[in-house]
Amino acid sequence: MLILDCPCCGRAADETELEGGGEAHLTRFGPGASDDDFERYLFLRGNPKGVHFERWRHAYGCGKWFLAARCTTTLEVFGTYAAQTTAPPPEIVAAIKARRPNWEAPV
Ligand SMILES: [Zn+2]
C-alpha cells in the first residue's frame, strides 16, 4: 500500500486518503507560446519506470495539494514537499541519489 507523509498536516496518509493529480513540475507557457509548447503542456506526460515526481491531494485529510517523489516500480517514497515548489528540493534529490546513484534529474 502506498503511504505518503502529508507535508501540510504532518499525517501519514495511505492511498485511500489520497487523490492523484498527475505529473509534477509541468511548465505552463504564456499566451505567446507555440502550438508545440501548448500541446506539450496539455497532453504530453512522462511515464518513467523509476523515479517520478507527482502531485497528490490529501483528499480525505486536510484537503491540500502536495508533491511526492517516488519510484513507480517499487513504490519506494523518497519524500514529499510543498506543492508551491517549482523544482525538487535538494534534500529530496539527495534522498534519491542515496538510493539510486545513477539517477539523473529530469531537465
Ligand atoms: Zn494533509
Domains of the chain with bracketed CATH: 12-25+41-107 (3.30.2270.10)
Distance from the CA of 19 to the center of ligand 1, in angstroms? 11
Distance from the CA of 8 to the center of ligand 1, in angstroms? 5
* Confidence check: pLDDT of 65 > 90: yes
Phi/psi of residue 21, each to 5°?
-125, 15
Confirm if 55 and 19 have CB atoms less than 8 A apart.
Answer: no
Can you say how many angstroms the Cα of residue 26 is from the centroid of all Cα atoms in its chain? Answer: 10
Average pLDDT over residues 10-27: 95
Distance from the CA of 87 to the center of ligand 1, in angstroms? 21
Distance from the CA of 58 to the center of ligand 1, in angstroms? 5
The string of pLDDT tens digits covering residues 67-92 is 999 999 999 999 999 999 999 999 99
* Confidence check: pLDDT of 22 > 80: yes
For residue 25, give the nearest of 67, 80, 74 by alpha carbon.
67
The grid coordinates listed for 8 are: 501540510
Distances (CA, A) of 22 to 18, 97, 98: 12, 23, 25
Average pLDDT over residues 41-51: 91
pLDDT band at 30 (very low <50, low <70, confident <90, very high): confident
Query: Near ion ligand 1, which residues have CB within 5 Å?
Result: 6, 8-9, 58, 61-62
* Confidence check: pLDDT of 57 > 80: yes
